């Protein structure tokens, strides 16, 4: 079977004292599985298992899942759940021949990009709380911890999950307190639920104790149709691979950002103010749903004309058009070219006061009459 993703994933019988890669998670994938080890040699074997984020030469001894666990002939050993992701390697080793390693589980999409082997350390500050791993803000994760005593003397360990943004434990937060781990033994603590900004805190009295954390971040992937009788709340982003069809009303209380344009064939109801920005994030126009006021820094161009049931005001009340009478009024104004009335009249023209003012017929008639009288 090539590249299986469910059930049997890989198996190997490594050579004596050789670190080999049993299985590698595909890019963007999370492997959640259990490792089974079976020994067929008449002499007991010591086995080691860990996860590497790079080449075998960069394998860090602090990331062991199992360290020198002894398995006798005909015996088997199964680990707790292991998480590794995004091209991380599951590395195995035995100090005897005829030891088989089998990984069974499933390989899933990992849209978070954060799952898998997340951190490991050997404490150098003895008998002090040390942060092993902090879950990123806004995330939730299930953590599995593997603690290996790689020394020749017993060790005591403590561990717990802190409150948000704390780097030490209170007396009420311990999950394990002064747990004894014999030399070259492994302790597994699985299914620890941790939310954002909380930290896994560890403590030991032995400098050769290693702590490794493996995480599976919370997410849900639906591969079939989704039917909801109630609401759908999306806390972060939502990626839709093909078309999104909405038969009813869709309410968005947050911001909708569309990078490639938005095509609407039906009615669009805007309950807030509609605004437009240029590429420099400068506001260029707005349309208020409360007042109906359209404000723009540019001009308005219309092929079919502009119709309004309210007053049309131009240039900060330089002139306005009354919607009921069509009268044009203004406080000031000027023309930079000739005014062509298309053979229509200018009516209700006031009496001239300056030499360059236009005159009405009554003014002309009165001047002709006065001139005639003066001539006698």
pLDDT by residue (tens digit) across 322-331? 777 777 776 6
Both tokens of residue 127? 């008998």
Distance CA 351, CA 72 (A): 121
The total of structural domains in the chain comes to 2
What average pLDDT does range 304-331 have in this prediction? Answer: 72
Q: Which one of 172, 191, 220 terminates a domain?
A: 220
Cβ neighbours for 10, distance < 8 A, ≥ 6 positions apart: 22, 23, 102, 103
337 within some domain: no
pTM: 0.60
Find the mean pLDDT for residues 27-43: 93
User: Is 304 part of a structural domain of the chain?
Assistant: no
Sign of the dihedral defined by the CA atoms of residues 272, 273, 278, 282, in that order:
negative
pLDDT for position 315: 66
Q: Is residue 372 part of a domain?
A: yes
Distance of CA 220 to the CA centre of its chain: 14
Reported as type and span, the H/E element at residue 374 is: helix 361-375
Does residue 65 sit in the same domain as residue 202? Answer: yes
pLDDT for 78: 94
**Residue 260 — very low, low, confident or very high, per pLDDT cuts 50/70/90?**
confident
* Residues facing residue 181 across a β-bridge: 155
Mean pLDDT for the stretch of residues 68-83: 92
Mean pLDDT across the chain: 86
In a domain, 154, yes or no: yes
Any idea which of 154-158, 161-165, 173-177, 330-334 has the lowest mean pLDDT?
330-334
The yes-or-no verdict on residue 337 having pLDDT over 90 is no
- Does residue 281 carry a pLDDT above 50? yes
Domain that holds residue 108: 1-220
Q: Of 193, 220, 247, which marks where a domain is finished?
A: 220
71 and 45 Cβ atoms separated by less than 8 Å? yes
- Provide the pLDDT for residue 1: 45
> Which of 17, 46, 88, 75 lies closest to 186 in space, CA to CA?
46
Question: Whose structure tokens read 């360059």?
Answer: 356
Is 184 a domain residue?
Answer: yes
User: Would residue 51 count as lying in a domain?
Assistant: yes
Q: What is the CA radius of gyration of the chain?
A: 40
pLDDT at residue 164 tops 70: yes
Q: Is residue 333 in some structural domain?
A: no
- Model confidence band, residue 221 (pLDDT cutoffs 50, 70, 90): low
Q: What is the pLDDT of residue 345?
A: 86
Comparison of pLDDT for 285 and 229, the residue scoring more? 285
Place of tokens 């080890």: 37
| Of 161, 191, 220, the domain-final residue | 220
In-domain check, residue 278: no
pLDDT of 349: 86
User: CA 164, CA 145: separation in Å to the nearest integer?
Assistant: 19
Q: State mean pLDDT over 129-151.
A: 94
What is the Cα 201 distance to its own chain's centre? 27
């Amino acid at each position: 079977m090539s590249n299986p993703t469910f059930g049997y994933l890989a198996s190997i019988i490594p050579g004596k004292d050789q670190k080999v890669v049993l299985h590698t998670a595909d890019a963007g994938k999370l492997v959640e599985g259990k490792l089974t080890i079976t020994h067929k040699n008449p002499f007991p074997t010591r086995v080691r298992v860990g996860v590497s984020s790079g080449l075998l030469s960069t394998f860090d001894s602090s990331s062991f899942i199992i360290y020198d666990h002894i398995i006798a002939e005909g015996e088997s050993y199964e680990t707790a759940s292991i998480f590794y992701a995004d091209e991380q390697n599951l590395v195995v080793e035995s100090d005897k021949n005829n030891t088989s390693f089998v990984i069974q589980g499933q390989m899933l999409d990992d849209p978070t990009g954060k799952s898998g082997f997340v951190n490991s350390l050997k404490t150098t500050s003895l008998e002090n709380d040390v942060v092993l791993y902090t879950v990123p803000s806004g995330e939730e994760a299930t953590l599995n911890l593997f603690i290996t005593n790689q020394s020749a003397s017993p060790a005591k360990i403590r561990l717990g999950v802190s409150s948000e943004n704390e780097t030490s434990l209170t007396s009420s937060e311990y999950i394990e307190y002064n747990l004894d781990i014999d030399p070259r033994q492994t302790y597994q603590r699985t299914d620890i639920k941790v939310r954002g900004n909380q930290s896994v805190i560890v403590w030991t009295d032995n400098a050769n104790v290693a702590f490794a954390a493996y995480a599976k971040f919370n997410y849900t992937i639906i591969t079939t149709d989704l039917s909801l009788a109630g609401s759908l709340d999306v806390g972060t982003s939502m990626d839709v691979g093909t078309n999104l069809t909405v038969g009813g009303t869709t309410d968005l209380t947050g911001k909708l950002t569309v990078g490639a344009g938005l095509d609407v064939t039906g009615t669009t109801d805007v309950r807030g103010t509609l605004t437009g920005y240029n590429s420099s994030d400068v506001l260029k126009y707005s349309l208020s749903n409360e007042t109906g006021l359209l404000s723009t820094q540019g001009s308005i161009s219309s092929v079919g004309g502009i119709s309004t049931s309210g007053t049309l005001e131009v240039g900060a009340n330089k002139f306005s058009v009354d919607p009921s009478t069509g009268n044009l009024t203004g406080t000031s104004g000027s023309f930079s070219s000739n005014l062509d009335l298309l053979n229509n009249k200018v009516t209700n023209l006031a009496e001239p006061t300056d030499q360059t003012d236009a005159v009405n017929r009554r003014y002309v008639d009165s001047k002709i009459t006065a001139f005639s009288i003066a001539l006698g």
